């Protein structure tokens, strides 16, 4: 009886170990539950500068960090429906993203909108914050 108990435990351990290698580095899984067959890790956006609701000068620089983003081309920033040119610096496992407020924005409050576009639409991420721009 002892031998079959240890045999069963060994078999279960083998099955668990084998199943744990079913996910490869590209985040594809055999049974993710999604219709596309892809699991996803949403981008994490943080360290927004200047801070939320800060008062800034026209053409001020802003920045943030983007984690879990595969390519810089996936990151888009808009302010009042204008696409903002970006400088995207790779920093190991994340990107530092830098942009400037559009020249024509003065004496207004504006939202800096961030969108990260992924291959799987369900994995897209969005964030943003408000700044008040002086005259």
pLDDT tens-place string over residues 2-46: 555 444 444 344 333 333 323 233 333 333 444 445 678 889 999
Q: What residue ranges do the domains of the chain occupy?
A: 1-39, 44-133
Q: In what order do the strands lie in the sheet with 108-116?
A: 54-56, 125-133, 108-116, 75-79, 82-83
**Could you tell me how far CA 132 lies from the centroid of its own chain?**
25
Taking only the tens place, the pLDDT of each residue in 39-72 is: 788 899 999 999 999 999 999 999 999 999 999 9
Q: Quote the pTM value.
A: 0.70
DSSP-derived secondary structure letter, 70: S
Residue ranges with strand state E in 1-135: 44-49, 54-56, 61-67, 75-79, 82-83, 86-90, 94-100, 108-116, 125-133
CATH 2.60.40.10 fits 44-133, yes or no: yes
């Amino acid at each position: 009886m002892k031998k079959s108990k240890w045999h069963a435990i060994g078999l279960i351990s083998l099955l668990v170990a084998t199943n744990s290698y079913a996910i490869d580095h590209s985040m594809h899984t055999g049974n993710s539950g999604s219709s596309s067959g892809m699991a996803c890790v949403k981008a994490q956006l943080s360290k927004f500068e200047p801070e939320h609701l800060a008062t800034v000068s026209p053409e001020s620089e802003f920045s943030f960090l983007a984690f879990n983003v595969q390519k810089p081309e996936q990151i888009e920033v808009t302010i009042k429906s204008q696409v903002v040119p970006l400088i995207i610096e790779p920093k190991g496992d994340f990107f530092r993203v830098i942009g400037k407020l559009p020249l024509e924005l003065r004496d207004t409050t504006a939202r800096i909108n961030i969108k990260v576009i992924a291959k799987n639409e369900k994995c897209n991420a969005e964030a943003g914050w408000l700044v008040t721009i002086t005259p």
